[in-house]
Chain A
Amino acid sequence: MRRGWSLGIFTVVLASGLVLAACGGDDDDSASATPTSVSDGGEPVDVGDVDVLGIWGADELEKFEAMVKPWDDLYTGNVAFTGTRDITAILTTRVEGGNPPDIAIPAEIGLFRQFASEGKLTPLSACPGLESQVRNEYPDSFIDLATVDGVLYGFFMKADTKGTIWYNPKVFAENNVEPLTADSSFDDLIALSQTLLDAGITPWSVGVESGAASGWPGSDWIQQILLNEAGGEVYDGIIDGSIPFTDEKMKDAWEKFGQIIHAEGFVLGGPTGANATGFQESAFPPFESPPQAAMLYLGGFASGFIADQFPNAVAGEDYDFFTFPGGGITGAANIAYAFNSDPGTCSLMLHLAKGESQKIWVELGGFTSVNKEVSLDSYPDAVTRNQADQLVAASDFRFDLDDAIGGAVQTAVFTAVTEYISDASSLDAILAGIEAARQ
């Protein structure tokens, strides 16, 4: 029978697969409760596996595993890490479906706030020693952000400053231009751009395309400008809703962004190019040979792209950053939180929150820690060190604005950015639309 034959193929393949698997294919993190080696004396403590849901892949995943290894040595359980960029959907589905992970480490806090207020999360106090450790080792601003209704539910890993304007030092040197400082003003930035343009090089590389979240790099610009021009109180007012998006100060911030994006020749490819270029790709033109642009405004994580794409580039010489004029710093971070207080979960949370664990990843590069215990010397090069310094030492630090509000407003902001880039005249309507999304 022909059909039986195809079934036969399936069965044979399946059977051989099973045999292979049984003979122990890979000895990666398979099978649970396999005692692992212990670093110095003592038996590994018996805990179950910990199911962690996060966003990391590629080398981020490797570094996370390096960070987790000491925990692995001390406990019998394994860390089962699943990394996906669709974490919001997966996490929502699993939580609603009754099968949450043990620990989640997403990149935004909107979901965190919602879960916390619905009582789905385990407060840090449920794990012995965890809350006190976090309160000791983390700056107040980050503790406040992780507190919902007075209860502390999470801690921050892998932070990113958004106060970094990347530039090509060689281009600047060739054109006798100095990078700006925190004391500069936004007008200085415009003047700098004009100088570069007159010298014959496109000042800015801007790319806001990012799939469904297209526009977010633009919102980074606007919130950074807002913080510096209007101050922290206005910024906070926008977040909690006491100040509407249609407010003069917010409009001013958008218009200042417009001074960059709509100015003739300021941006590589113009507004059309900005909307059509992916944010990772926008990180390359300033550092190509020959450079296609002079500056790039993107968060601290951009150094990772640049280093990956240009392996021969030397941090500090071929690429560096200066602080966004004004001194106020915005940033974002991944927050880690738990759904239960099992022994395995608690011990892993404790481990991840510790300064010495985060130091492991810091030393490998691509990780900025907000844990006060991590000294600046741990950072592999001057560029990453300065980023960390900027974040920790910032007098006026604010979490990413649209991330902080989340939900419909965040979606509206992103759409508004791409709309505004393609059509400057629609600003009032756009701002009204964002405010209308706030319900």
Chain B
Amino acid sequence: MAVADDIDRPTMGEAPGGGSRRRRLHFARIPLHVAVIGLALLWSIPTIALVVSSFRTPEEIAGSGWWNAIKTPFDWTLANYDAVLSQRGLARAFLNSIIITAPASTITILVAAFAAYAFAWMRFPGRNLLLLVLVGLLVVPLQMTLIPVLRLYVALSVDVEVPLLGGKLFGTSSYPGIWLAHGAYGLPFAVYLLRNFFGGLPRDLIEAALLDGATDMQVFFRIVLPLSMPALAALAIFDFLWTWNDLLVALVFLGDPNLAPMTLRIANLVSSFGASYQVLTAAAFVSMAVPLVVFFALQRYFVQGILAGSVKG
């Protein structure tokens, strides 16, 4: 199914038409740019503060505001980044973060997609109540779930060493254990989001396909998923992000520091008194790199108007 590519859509903001009309609209775009750039800058002020601070020494940070760094003859330092990147075990921790996050997010997205399709397009008894419970569990505070689940993991521990990855086969200090945990924690939001998007797809399209003899699997993979790319991309961005930035679940379920993700290494940059927190400014950017890459990579799926030929109403 051909999907429109990311072009500067002439459909938004500019209409085809006479010369005078185009010129009028061209001027009308200036306030748009002012608004967008202005808001983006406003939002970025704290971020810029963080960037600037990451290049300053602790004495400077404690002594003067970050805006001074731009004034004074560039007294910048790479010491903070050095402290972060030269940390022993950082490369392994980075790998661990990927090992933890990628499968966990995949589980969430897949499982949620299947469930959302069922909620959106199949009928079965108790559908609404089940949805209510499933999504209602969004509010459950994470800390509350840790003790019971930990008990379960201790009981179900399989003390077999996994060859390449490390850690046990299942239970505490095991990657499969944390994959399932993260996979589960992301489900309520994922199901909620996808249910909404799947449900918004044109009924005729799906019904027609089913009547034509297509199986649910075929409808799911050939119609529903491709049409929901923006939603799936949005979900992937956030689920990846939240799992990537998690520290608590890793601390509780992955007791072994060799399996720990980057968040733990970064937390260890700060002493027990919270001293050396200026290193956190650099650490924030090092850690943010991957989620940003994911964000940019998935941006291309934010594509307009795939529903060519169908009418919404």
A interface vs B, CB < 8 Å? 1-3, 6-7, 9-10, 13-14, 17-18, 20-22, 25-26, 28-31, 51, 55-61, 80-86, 89-90, 93-94, 96-99, 101, 107, 278, 280-281, 284, 288, 301, 304-305, 308-310
Contacts and interface: CB of A to CB of B under 8 A. Distances in A.
B225 interface: yes
B267 interface: yes
A9 B99 CA distance: 13
**A-B CB proximity, top 6 nearest:** A97-B150, A55-B272, A98-B154, A57-B268, A58-B271, A10-B102
Contacts of B164: 18, 21-22
B128 interface: no
Given A55-B272, A57-B270, A57-B271, A98 B150 contact: yes
Contacts, number: 153
Nearest to B300: A2
Nearest to B61: A309
Contact of A28 (B89, B99, B273): B89
Given A57-B269, A301-B273, A80 B143 contact: no
B232 interface: yes
Contacts of A280: 273-275
Contact of A96 (B147, B225, B268, B271): B147
Contacts of B91: 25-26
Contacts of B232: 3
A434 to B, nearest CB: 25
Contacts of A98: 150-151, 154-155
Interface in B232-266: 232, 236, 248, 251-252, 255-258, 260, 264
Contacts of B256: 51, 80
A101 B255 contact: yes
B100 to A, nearest CB: 10
Given A60-B271, A85-B272, A26 B98 contact: no
Contacts of A309: 58-59, 62
A93 B143 contact: yes
Given A2-B229, A6-B298, A58 B62 contact: no
Contacts of B269: 57-58
A86 B252 contact: no
Contacts of B221: 1
A249 B211 CA distance: 86
A93 B273 CA distance: 22
B88 interface: yes
B165 A18 contact: yes
A53 to B, nearest CB: 8
A56 B98 contact: no
Central interface residue in B143, B273, B298, by most chain A CB within 10 Å? B273
Question: B interface, by DSSP: helix, strand, loop or mixed?
Answer: helix
Interface string B68-110: 0000000000000000000011011001001100110110000
Nearest to A311: B59
A97 B279 CA distance: 33
A304 B89 CA distance: 25
B92 A25 contact: yes
A94 B268 contact: no
Given A14-B103, A304-B275, A51 B267 contact: no
Contacts of A1: 221, 226
B275 A61 contact: no
A93 B255 contact: no
A91 to B, nearest CB: 10
A255 to B, nearest CB: 29
A1 B301 CA distance: 12
Interface in B190-228: 221, 225-226
A349 to B, nearest CB: 18
Contacts of B166: 21, 30-31
Given A57-B267, A58-B270, A58-B275, A97 B88 contact: no
B281 interface: no
Contacts of A281: 62
Given A51-B255, A58-B269, A21 B95 contact: yes
Contacts of B102: 10, 13-14
A89 B141 CA distance: 14
Nearest to A211: B274
Nearest to B240: A10
Contacts of A304: 271, 273, 275
B251 A82 contact: yes
Central interface residue in A3, A20, A83, A101, by most chain B CB within 10 Å? A3
Given A6-B298, A14-B99, A97-B150, A58 B225 contact: no
B271 A86 contact: no
B89 A57 contact: no
Contacts of B297: 9
B269 to A, nearest CB: 6
A9 B248 CA distance: 27
A92 to B, nearest CB: 8
Nearest to A49: B256
Nearest to B297: A9
5 contacts: A1-B226, A17-B95, A25-B92, A85-B272, A94-B255
Interface in B118-171: 143, 146-151, 153-155, 164-166
B271 A56 contact: yes
B63 interface: yes
Given A28-B92, A82-B264, A305 B273 contact: yes
Nearest to A279: B273
Given A94-B150, A99-B172, A301-B273, 8 more contacts: A14-B99, A18-B99, A20-B95, A80-B258, A82-B257, A85-B274, A93-B146, A97-B147
Nearest to A65: B88
A97 B154 contact: yes
Contact of B62 (A6, A17, A61, A284): A284
B276 interface: yes
Contact of A84 (B99, B143, B148, B267): B267
Nearest to B252: A93
B236 A58 contact: no
B149 to A, nearest CB: 8
Nearest to B233: A6
Contacts of B165: 18, 21
A2 B226 contact: yes
Central interface residue in A56, A94, A288, by most chain B CB within 10 Å? A94
